[in-house]
Structure 1
């Protein structure tokens, strides 16, 4: 009986694994003369300057309704993807943004589509983060075209604004080659996490759409699909307009599963894979039905007999009056470069997990108690604790429904963590290292090859919440997208089909 061929998503994941035997052979010196510029500029169009409307405190809002709308939109975009620091580097400058990006390459671009509001004429806008402005580069009403590209998703019926996030592939591929697609989706997930939280701060509710007709969405923005591709659409419901207080809908649709792919050369795999995960216009999907929330009684995936179980129930993090501290934390977030090796407390770890996985605990602070993800049921969380007071060293499975840690391995893994994080001291010196994984074969069976996007964007979204919670608690945090994949599975003791998606290190900064 012939062997069933892996899907292109499984093939891509296996082929882009880092392996200790081959990573030095594959790595090449970077051509710094070809380093991509992480900004897209439009030379023609009308610029709308958002800087005058940046306000740190909601009470500074004017009574003028149009100015209030400008203030809200300005803060939303700045907290989502604005420039928050300028750092000198090799005789030039590196601009840091509110959302983290691997290697500071920022592959995501942010566009705004207006249906025609009192402040924004209808058409297409690009967010120029370097000048914190909107460039109105297409003035025609294209909202109906957006609805068609999004397969008539209900969230676009009553909203007036939508954010479109694209990926400019070469920005990350220049450094990370074909594996860059993983990092592009993780970085987009960081951005989606910021948009969701910034929406709560500014009274917008983003409705995430991952199921859309790719070619139609790309044509809508007049972008070259070989260089740039739409990766997420987010209609913005205005929560101050009662008619835009909308239910949640399905965020993800399946694509085809491609098992009939040719032999693909190195350097061509990323683009081929992305194109294979497209949804074609005319595809029908059940997007009109509200999301059916999972039953709270459903069990978490792993429930090992006789393992030690530690409750993670705790008081929620307080984000200040009107979420002022959350907004400040978004602006101040930085990735930690080195840890001291000191322990975290168990209460600190519980608080990190609570903000990341238990949004229902934050409804009293006016945060969305059920933010949009693609499908969190596909993602599992493991934590290797090397220095958490009150916890034995070892590997734990985090059960978010039961809100408990379940110990599955008893060992100090600092040496293994140092190795699997490509020799980065962050892995060795961190007090805890959190891993997001997914059963890739099962996920592909549910959503087709497009699920690879969904998994990594969801992992990035969770990672960004961990980032912000750590900064709030004055802890260090750094996400790692480069690791020895198979060694992760060995440390966690999980099967080969469980794909490692993302690593987040946590500890006390040096």
Structure 2
């Protein structure tokens, strides 16, 4: 059977012990791309004064909500001094601290923000209004008249600046770019709940039209998601009709034999929706269908993960969540000590069961692309109260099912490219997907959706770990086929992401 281009790209960008050295290259730090995009012309809206504002008039409250929303989504949260320019960390984690995403804001036109295009200037927490013409209808048409765009006055568009990540990670950077954007989507979802905005995730749009609307050079930067923000504080009873987050693209079975270095950009082209197409007569056919949990062996150990939800309330509602977002850091090393089974249950509960948090005013049904396509495995090396081995996590049943029976610390150390995080973690969580089955549903574009969803889940794990005072770090560099061997899963199951959990050193 001929592989589609997404399958071909995934296979070509696997890390393998015998070839990884030949593909690595020294980094010329003088050529590292900037992580910030600057616009020289436009009207600036400074959001910093609203972070500490105590004014209670409606206009000031609206600006404060928007300012906190953007800060908690992607704002600067820490400054690290280096030998050269200081490095600034952001609310959403990024592989290598390269931050490939940009955030644009499209205004329909309201009393606060005139119609047009804005870029979120992360470095100084401002919005710059760089295009003053109304482009809202362009976005609506490019997004197949998504109903959330009828209800919203503001829309975020996230883009990827390819070379920020490709400079270091070469062709495999495409995976990392979408995982990093998935982290950002996790923050956008939760920051929206904290500040009275309901984000609606759109991944199905005509790429060329959105790129042209933003005046992007699509060879260097391209749109990844469109996210209308419905103001639920202003319109609490507004109902937006259901519409799938993801739409399919072509399945590309014919493609050239490309050399290394050209796979990333070509993969993005092959995952584009290039023209307006007739939507399926029944849009419900594209909605995620919750399949039965896999790996339900009759005699395997099954451990219930049902537990009380994490409490995100401190002095104010959800202030514990805001604190976790702003203080989140990737752990650099673990002590090797175990976490508890109650910790693991709480992590899984927050990540996979948002409906348990409705009483804390979090969205019980946040948008993903299609979580039914993603499987979760947990390698347990040090969890007090849980036998060592590999487990399949069954979210519908809320239980862990043991599928392998040994301590895999050494194998985890090796498959994580020798990173001690894999060896010393108490638990390592793997997200995987049957790539061929996913492509049959969404075409090659599903490669984007899978990594965005995996990153989104990973960010919820990050924040839950922060709240529980655990260490956590995501890993996107691993020996792909070795992971399949350790987990005992088929070769066609693509490994998307790894999250390590443990006690921080």
Is the TM-score greater than 0.5? yes
Aligned to 1:206: 199
CA contact 1:394–1:410 (8 Å) conserved in 2: yes
Output aligned runs, 1:461-476, within 5 Å: 461-476=456-471
Specify the SS of the correspondent of 2:123. coil
Task: Give the distance between the partners of 2:482 and 2:253, measured in 1 at CA.
Answer: 27
CA contact 2:98–2:165 (8 Å) conserved in 1: yes
1:34 equivalenced with 2:28 (yes/no): no
1:408 equivalenced with 2:380 (yes/no): no
Task: Give the distance between the partners of 2:123 and 2:78, measured in 1 at CA.
Answer: 11
CA contact 1:210–1:253 (8 Å) conserved in 2: yes
Q: Deviations over 1:240-262 (max 9, x none)?
A: 23364424421000000001101
Q: CA deviation at 1:450?
A: 0.2
1:161 equivalenced with 2:154 (yes/no): yes
Which of the residues 230, 238, 255 maps onto 2:231? 238
Q: Deviations over 1:81-113 (max 9, x none)?
A: 000001012332111000000000000000000
Consecutive unaligned residues of structure 2, counting only runs of 5 or more, are none
* Distance 1:449-1:162 versus aligned 2 partners, 3 A rule: same
Which of the residues 372, 378, 402 maps onto 1:383? 378
4-13 or 278-287, which moves further after superposition? 278-287
CA contact 1:248–1:291 (8 Å) conserved in 2: no
Task: Give the distance between the partners of 1:24 and 1:276, measured in 2 at CA.
Answer: 28
Which of the residues 76, 79, 88 maps onto 1:83? 76
Aligned to 1:175: 168
489-498 or 320-329, which moves further after superposition? 320-329
Aligned to 2:255: 261
Aligned to 2:393: 398
Aligned to 2:504: 509
Q: CA deviation at 1:327?
A: 0.6
Task: Give the distance between the partners of 2:421 and 2:18, measured in 1 at CA.
Answer: 22
CA contact 2:380–2:387 (8 Å) conserved in 1: yes
* Distance 1:459-1:295 versus aligned 2 partners, 3 A rule: closer
Task: Give the distance between the partners of 2:460 and 2:242, measured in 1 at CA.
Answer: 20
1:96 equivalenced with 2:89 (yes/no): yes
Aligned to 2:9: 12
* Distance 1:409-1:291 versus aligned 2 partners, 3 A rule: same
* Distance 1:470-1:221 versus aligned 2 partners, 3 A rule: same
* Distance 1:330-1:124 versus aligned 2 partners, 3 A rule: same
Output aligned runs, 1:45-64, within 5 Å: 45-55=42-52, 62-64=55-57
* Distance 1:239-1:294 versus aligned 2 partners, 3 A rule: same
Aligned to 2:486: 491
1:143 equivalenced with 2:136 (yes/no): yes
CA contact 2:287–2:370 (8 Å) conserved in 1: no
* Distance 1:291-1:363 versus aligned 2 partners, 3 A rule: farther
Aligned to 2:272: 278
1:108 equivalenced with 2:101 (yes/no): yes
Task: Give the distance between the partners of 1:402 and 1:430, measured in 2 at CA.
Answer: 26
Which of the residues 305, 318, 323 maps onto 2:298? 305
Consecutive unaligned residues of structure 1, counting only runs of 5 or more, are none
User: What is the TM-score normalised by the length of structure 2?
Assistant: 0.97
CA contact 2:147–2:241 (8 Å) conserved in 1: no
* Distance 1:291-1:117 versus aligned 2 partners, 3 A rule: farther
CA contact 1:386–1:413 (8 Å) conserved in 2: yes
Q: Deviations over 1:301-335 (max 9, x none)?
A: 22123110000000000001421110111000000
Specify the SS of the correspondent of 1:157. helix
CA contact 1:237–1:245 (8 Å) conserved in 2: no
Aligned to 2:419: 424
Task: Give the distance between the partners of 2:353 and 2:84, measured in 1 at CA.
Answer: 44
Output aligned runs, 1:289-300, within 5 Å: 289=283, 299-300=292-293
Q: CA deviation at 1:149?
A: 1.1
RMSD: 1.5
Q: Deviations over 1:135-155 (max 9, x none)?
A: 000000110011011111111
CA contact 2:431–2:454 (8 Å) conserved in 1: yes
Task: Give the distance between the partners of 1:87 and 1:487, measured in 2 at CA.
Answer: 35
Aligned to 2:19: 22
Aligned to 1:482: 477
CA contact 1:66–1:118 (8 Å) conserved in 2: no
* Distance 1:192-1:384 versus aligned 2 partners, 3 A rule: same
Q: CA deviation at 1:184?
A: 0.1
Specify the SS of the correspondent of 1:381. strand
CA contact 1:159–1:244 (8 Å) conserved in 2: no
Aligned to 2:365: 370
